[in-house]
Each structure stands twice: as C-alpha cells, then as structure tokens.
Amino acid sequence: MKKVLFYILLLTTIYSCNKTPLLEASEALVGNWEHKTAFAVAHQIIINENGEGYMVWVIDGKNSKQTKIRKWYLDNNQLNFGKAVFNGEFYEIDEYPTTAFTELINYYDTILKDQRYIILDGNYYKEFE
C-alpha cells in the first residue's frame, strides 16, 4: 500500500511540474493587468516580456503587498505563478486578452473602448501602464 501511495505521489509531482513556460504558449498574456476588488482596492498581475513577473495588492493607491518575481507558466487554460503553485497563485483563463469594442463595466472594473482586457476566474482584468 505504501508503494502505491509513493508512486501516485511521484506521478502527481512529475505531472504538476510539467508546465509550459508562458512565452512558449502565448505572448498575448504579456502585460500589466488590474482587477478592482473594491472602490480603492485592486489586484495587479504583471507579466513581463521575458515571461517573469509578480503580483501586487493595492489599497488606496499604495502597494499593500507584493510577491517576489517568478516565472509564469501555462497549463491548459490555467495561468500559474511559478511551477509549484499554491492557493491564489493560479488563475483559470476564461477569455484570453482581447480589445473592448465598447465600454465595459463589471462591478468596480471599467474597461474603456479600445482597451485590452482579460478574464481570469470570472474577473475582468484591464491592461494598465
């Protein structure tokens, strides 16, 4: 029984580490993306042109928390922050980056016409500079 559990754990570990580096899969995800969770609270995902990036949580225009820089990976339609991801470090891609044809308003997020956005875990993230 212990051998079976060991092999299952081994296969799970190997499979979880078998992710595609983001730039090999899609360069369209490169950018600075922001989702407002409240009036003055935002979550930002930064994906640099080298495939690395970080996440920032903003309150009242100030960074309240920021992660270290890591590589982004793509596994099917899941955006992963690093090879070994934990809760809050992966996002299901509902819609890949696209350009808004008209102004979109979704809760606290306002995406202007001709602005790029992405939908992750059902939340709109607009591109910002």
pLDDT along the chain (129 residues), means of 10: 54 54 73 95 96 96 94 90 82 95 93 96 94
The DSSP secondary-structure symbol of 27 reads G
Q: How far apart are CA 102 and CA 117, in angstroms?
A: 12
Within the chain, residue ranges assigned H as helices are 2-16, 22-25
According to DSSP, the residues that pair with 106 across neighbouring strands are 109
Q: For residue 68, how many other CB atoms are within 10 A of its CB? A: 7
Q: Are 36 and 108 in contact (CB under 8 A)?
A: yes
Which tokens go with 118? 């992405």
The pTM (predicted TM-score) of the whole model is 0.80
pLDDT at residue 11 in the model: 47
